[in-house]
Structures are given as structure tokens and as C-alpha cells.
Structure 1
Amino acid sequence: MKQPDDVRTLLKKRFAGKHREWLVAGDPSQQWPLVIPLGPPSEAEALKQVDAVRDWASVWRNWSGEGDVKWVERRWRLLGTQRLPEALHLDGPRAVCAWIGELDRWRIAERRFQDLCQRWPQLALTASRLFNVLADFEDADFQRLLLALDWLEANPRSGLYPRQLPIAGLDTKWIEPRKGLLAKLLAGIRKLDGNGEDFHSLSGLESLPAVVQVRLLDPVLRARCGGLRDFSAPVEQLAGMSLEPTTVLVVENLQSGLALPDMPGTIALIALGYNVDVLSRIPWISGCRGIYWGDIDTHGYAILHRARCHLPQLQSLLMDEATLLQFSSLWTKEADQCAAEDLPLLQPAERIVYQGLRDHRWGHCLRLEQERISWQLVLLALGIPR
């Protein structure tokens, strides 16, 4: 015997699994009404709980919410004729959403979905997968989104930088966190699957040059660059230099990289993050000894794995289980863990820590940031006398 709370729980699950399909459905008659059986008891079951059955029937008799309660008449030998609620019929998504407190969001998402599909009918499938965006965007942001798509579709090869777009309210700060969304929608408009297409190739906008922060840790190398110790350069310009180091040290944290002392034949490439793909574009480091030092968290290992795709000789520094456990008092939380189940280029000891972090073996979403590690231990690991 389903109570309203039971129906609500069921409808929340149904909504979670079906709302995208409901948005894009062309013929509502194919899916509606949605029939929720209320589970009327048999006479044998009713005899064991007469009061409960009476109360249950009363709840549905007095129900004034969304939906049409269908009743069934049962002629029982001992309890006589009883009229019981048999099923709840809901005539569309709005009725479901009214039950679960999602009606306002549904109306907004439905209206915006229709706005998009009126302009670009081919967007129906793509847009249906973006329910949260459609439901939760501020009105001003959604209007900017439409203006951006209109302009980018009309000017597919503009070659402008984002800040140059002649659209009110659109600048780099607005576009940067929405690149993925814009790329999905542009791919949908052009009937592309989106695989292998990045935001800049889809939008026709110019990307900023990849700039690499470099620290020269050897006086001999500095002399070749007019005495410069620290500089940033576009990767294309950096690739054209011929520094000929023997060791390249990839360091994730900026301050950790800037604190490094001199090391013979060594350069540090600092704070690349997931942009470690640039390593493949600097030919004169391909034969160097490589060291990677990053945070002990899931993204640190994911970046290490990605860097090894381009510099397979990279060895990790202080990213082992012993270091993690030694500084347990300095652990913090990783907001969003890397989703990859396996990173095959990790070495066995690294993979153990990565899986342990994902499995929360030592705590929920913990991390050890590299700058929290004792500097004396860092120098020792680098082979530098204290």
C-alpha cells in the first residue's frame, strides 16, 4: 500500500532517469499517462491490518494534489464490498514535477529548451542532456548564451579573441567557465559528435598562446639567456631555444618551484597543471632526465600520467605512500576527485596510492599539497645538501 511519500520517492527516481527523455519527446501520448500502482491489498492482507487499510484509503480519498486517483471495487467474502485506491495517473512531466518540488525548474527548462530548438531544431538531443543548465541559468546568462551561439554560428571563422566579441556582457570572464557548454552546443548545431573538437576549433575564436613559466637552476644555463633566472614564454618560442639542460623538473606549485635552489644542468617548468601536453612541443627536453613533483591527490597523479604520455622517462618525487602518511596532520580535502578508474602509465607504487585515494582508504577525498611537505625532505629527495 503506497503512501504519498512512497509515490514521491518513486517519482524522484523516475524523474532522475527520464527527465531528459521527457524534454525531447515529440509525442506525449507515447509516454503518458504515467501509471503508479498504489498496491491495494488482498482480503487476506487487509484482514491483518484493517485499520491501516482504512487509513490508507482515507489518505487517497482526501488527496488533493496532482494526478487522478483510480479506484477499484473489491467484493470480499468477509469484509464485504470495499472501494480501494488502485493507481495514480499523472498526465505529464509537470504533474510529476509538482509532486517532487521541481515544477518551477521544469517550466524554466522546458521554455528554454523550446527557445533553443526553435532556433536550432538539430539541438534537441544535445539540449535535453543539459537540464540543469536550462533550469538553473540566470536569465541574463541564458540570453548571453543565445547571443553567443547566434554570433558564433554566423561568424564561424572570426579569428577574434573572446574579449573582442561585439556582444554586450560577453568577455573572457563569462566565456572561460562556459567553454565546455558552448562547445557542446556548437557541436550539436553543426551535427558533430564533439569528439576531438575543442572550444576554439568549434567557435573559430583565437586561443591565447600557451605560456610556460621557466626557472633556470644552473648559472651556465642562465648565462645563455642573459642572466635570466625566471621567465615566461609562449611554448612555440620556448621550443625554438636551445638550452640543452640535462634535467627537467616539472613542479606544480608556483611557490615551490620558485623556492628551488640551484641544481647543475636543471631547468624547472612550473605550474603547468593539465597543460603538460606542452612538454611534447619542446624538443630539447625529450632526452633529459625528467622529474615530476606534484600534489598527492587524484589530480596530481592524473597530471603525472598525462605528462608521461609526452615525457615517458618522468619519475615522480615525494608522491609515495610513505610521504603521504608521514604528513597526515597536514592533509586537506580534494574538492572533486579525478574520475579515471585507471591510469596505466602510473608505476605500481603510484597506482596503489592513486587507487587508495579514490577508494578513500585513508579518509574521504584527502590530499597532501606539495608545499606542506618539509623543505628539508624536499632538498634531501633532490640530492641537495642541507
Structure 2
Amino acid sequence: MSERLLQPADAAKALARHLEHSWAERIYAELVGEAERPFAVSLRPGISGSASVERVGIPAWHEWRTAWRNAGLTDLEGVRLEESRINVAGRTTVEPRRLHIDSLAAGIRALAHFAASPLEEDVDRARKIGARLRDTGAILTPGTLRTVCRLSDADVDVAVDVAAWLREHEDLSGWTSRQLPVPGMHTKWLSGHRQLIAALVDRDPAVETRPRLSVIHFTYVDPDYLATGGRRHDAWTTGDSHELAYLPRNVLIVENRDCRLWFPGLADTVVVEGGGMAAAVLLGGIDWITGARIVYWGDIDSDGFAILDNLRSEMSPRGVSVESILMDEATRVRYVHLGVDRDRKGKLLQPSTARLANLTPEEADCYAAIATSGPAATRRIEQERIDLADARRALCRLLAGQPGSDSRPRSPRLHSGTG
């Protein structure tokens, strides 16, 4: 044990650290009527006699004794100095050994007495929030209290209201999670606080509500089919009855709607609008997509490469490969003049530290160039800035270099009108 003499200010800092760590447990104990655990700060660890006092210094010892003699803790409720005998230079005296704190309230009084900084957490606010959770029948634990207290006041109100509403509604099967008619709750609030609500009510509304069916939008670009006058744009809803105008050999996934809507004609191909990081979930269960040759084209930025990496990670275990176009270093160099360094709000785009294990060497070089922590010529080249004719040529070169399967019919089947 290191030899130290803690002045009152040092003891106050140690007390504050403890209370910052344990306030939720202590408020919980208050609210449910349990006894709080007392806490003690050692004031002279390792100091037991003359030898150790001499090592820290006799002047420091006398300064320490004087400071604690004048600390004035006698009248502080729940705060107590434990003393013990110690022999220094042949003289035995009774000196402070530990500072004992009985409760959170006593600790706060001690901090105020020492003129120390108050706790970062607003304890009175936390008590009120805890009482509201308890009174509404929510599951109150130190963990749920700490989590709810991190919310804004407005979100605290919603969390309490949602917990109360769920207690009164056992059957959620008639709504999606966005349809739940909880007064004051934004339609997307629940999805962003799913784990918290599950902890507060021991139920997962996302499981109990009816699913929000995934919908993808896609565009037919086969020239022979388009010559029939059939519809160019279509949608696919999970679980519905569908029949495509034709089964594509190639599926190009893009992120930008303009790129999907106006992609030039290309035989045996359908252009699908992806869903960002959700693309793998949205598209991975659709047979006509996973059975085709899948090519991804996204923005040249950290998000675009992260989406590509995630798509491969999710598709690979299913035996489905994903290629890419226009996401290599040569493309970045060719279109760097169209790059940007700020987002739509004017905020500088930041480097990325994400390690993406599913990129090809060419993609990895491009990702490194835009995500580097050092200077970058650009941080983002949005795909809609790239000439669609160039995108078509890139896709044709890829398809010609590695021909896909010939098992699918060349002649497009007309849309039956179902789905």
C-alpha cells in the first residue's frame, strides 16, 4: 500500500468519485426502502508509525493533523471521522484514520462542507425520475434509473408515459411499432429506445407488434422489355404475392434514387435502390436478387464502403457474392474534382477508423484515401455526380469480364399484374 496523507480536499475528491459511480444504486435504495451501504475514505493509507511518517515528512504530517483538526465535521449528520492511536517519535496520539459516509445525502453534505464541486448528476432530478418510474409500475433498477436520467426531460416524459401505457395494453398485435397510439410519442421514438423500454416493462414491443413490411423499389432497364411499353419502375413488399416483368441475370444495387430511376438500358438487368446499412436485411431474403449476379455501386465515402463491406459480410454466409463498380482508386482520381469535404449541413466530414475486412485491394486503397486521418483530396464523391453512361460502361466491362450464368431466360416475361 502506498503511503499517503489525504488532505480534506483530497478526501472530497475521492468521495465525489465514489458517489459519481454509485449514485444510481443509492437513489434506488432510497426509493425502495433499502438501507444504503456506508462508504469510507482512508485518510492515511500506509501510515502506521514513525517510520512511515518520516518517509512522508514530519512537516507534511503536522500540516495534515492541523487540517483535519480544523475540518469541523462534528455537526454533519451521517459524516464521521474514525480515529485510531499512532505512535510518532515516541509519542502516542489519536489521529484521524477514515472518513465515514453513511448515505448519498450525507456525502452531498460533506462535499458542500468541503466546498468541493457538486456531483455531475442532478441528484434531485434523478430522485424525481426514479419516483416517477416506481410509481408508474416500471421496473426500477439502478441500471434503468441511470439510463433514463441520461435522457432529456422531454424523453424522460415519453419513457414514463410509454411504460404506463404498455401496462394498460397487453395486446399490441393490431399495430406496428410506429402506430402505437401513445400520446406525445414520436413514431420513431420507440425504435430508438427499444432496449430501455424492454428493460422498464420486461416486454419487447418490437416483437409484440405486427411487422413493418420491407419495401424495395427497383427499375427495369432491359431494352427488349422496355420496348413492350411495360412499366419501368416497380416495388417489392416482403410477404406479398409478386411476379416480376422478367427475372434478371444481373442486379445492380445503388443508394441514390436518381441513379436508379435514370439508369440507362442494359439487358437482363434490374436496378435496385438499396437501404444503406439495412440493405443486406432488406435484400437478402429475396430469391430473384440473391439468385442473380449482384453488383453494388455506392458513394465513394466511408459510409459507402461500410455498406459494401456489410453487404458482403451478410451475403457471403449464404453463398452469395457481391461485386462493385466505380468504387476503386482509379474512379476516385478521375472524379476527385466532384468531391466534397463537408456534409449537407456544412460540417466537415471526418476520417474513419472502421476496419473493413471485406473490401478488395482496389476498394481498400480507395477507402484508405478518403478515410485517412491525414490530408485527403476529398472525403466524399456522391454517386449521382458520376455520369450514368460511365456507370453503364463500368457495369458492362465487369459483366463481360466475368460472364454470369446462362441459366436464366433471355426473353423477358411480361408483368402479370400481381403484387
TM-score (norm 1): 0.70
Structure 1's 201 and 381: CA in aligned 2 closer, same or farther, altered over 3 A? same
CA deviation after TM superposition for structure 1 residue 356, in Å: 8.1
2:164 to 130, 147, 150: 150
Aligned to 1:128: 142
Partner of 2:250: 247
Residues 263/136 of structure 1: CA separation in 2 closer, same or farther (3 Å cut):
same
* 1:71 pairs with 2:92: no
8 Å contact from structure 2 (residues 82, 99) kept in 1? yes
Give the total of aligned pairs.
Answer: 361
Paired amino acid for 2:248: P
Match of 1:269 among 263, 269, 272: 272
Question: Where does 1:72-221 land on structure 2 (aligned, <5 Å)?
Answer: 72-77=84-89, 80-96=91-107, 99=111, 101-102=118-119, 105-120=122-137, 123-124=139-140, 127-158=141-172, 159-161=174-176, 165-186=180-201, 188=202, 190=203, 199-202=205-208, 204=209, 206-221=210-225
Cα gap change, 1:246 to 1:362, in 2 (>3 Å): same
Determine the C-alpha separation between the residues in 2 that align with 1:335 and 1:101.
37
Identity, in percent, stands at 22
Taking the aligned partners of 2:350 and 2:317, their CA distance within structure 1 comes to 24
Question: Which one-letter code corresponds to 1:362 in the other structure?
Answer: T
Structure with the higher fraction of residues in helix conformation: 1
Q: Give secondary structure in 2 for the equivalent of 1:245.
A: coil
Matched, 1:305 2:313: yes
- Structure 1 stretch displaced more, 297-306 or 373-382: 373-382
Q: Using the alignment, how far apart are the partners of 2:199 and 2:367 within structure 1? A: 31
Q: Equivalent of 1:382, from 384, 395, 401? A: 395
Q: Unpaired segments of 5 or more residues in structure 1? A: 191-196
Counterpart amino acid of residue 38 in structure 1: L
Residue type at the aligned position of 1:145? A
Structure 1 residue identity aligned to 2:321: Q
In the alignment, is the contact (CA less than 8 A) between 2:328 and 2:363 conserved in 1? no
Aligned partner of 2:41 among 36, 47, 52: 36
Query: What SS does the aligned partner of 2:218 have?
Result: strand
8 Å CA contact 2:24–2:146 kept in 1: the answer is no
SS of structure 2 residue aligned to 1:278? helix
Conserved? CA contact 2:137–2:164, under 8 Å: no
Displacement after TM superposition at 1:174 (Å): 4.2
Q: Deviations over 1:295-322 (max 9, x none)?
A: 4348433354235455722124455688
Q: Higher Cα Rg: structure 1 or 2?
A: 2
Alpha-carbon deviation of 1:180? Answer: 3.9
CA distance in 2, matches of 1:215, 1:284: 14
**More displaced stretch, 98-107 vs 277-286:** 98-107
Higher mean alpha-carbon deviation, 288-297 vs 39-48, is at: 39-48
Aligned to 1:2, the other structure's residue is in SS state: coil
1:9, 1:264 → 2: CA distance? Answer: 72
Displacement, 1:89?
1.3
Q: Aligned partner of 1:280: which letter?
A: G
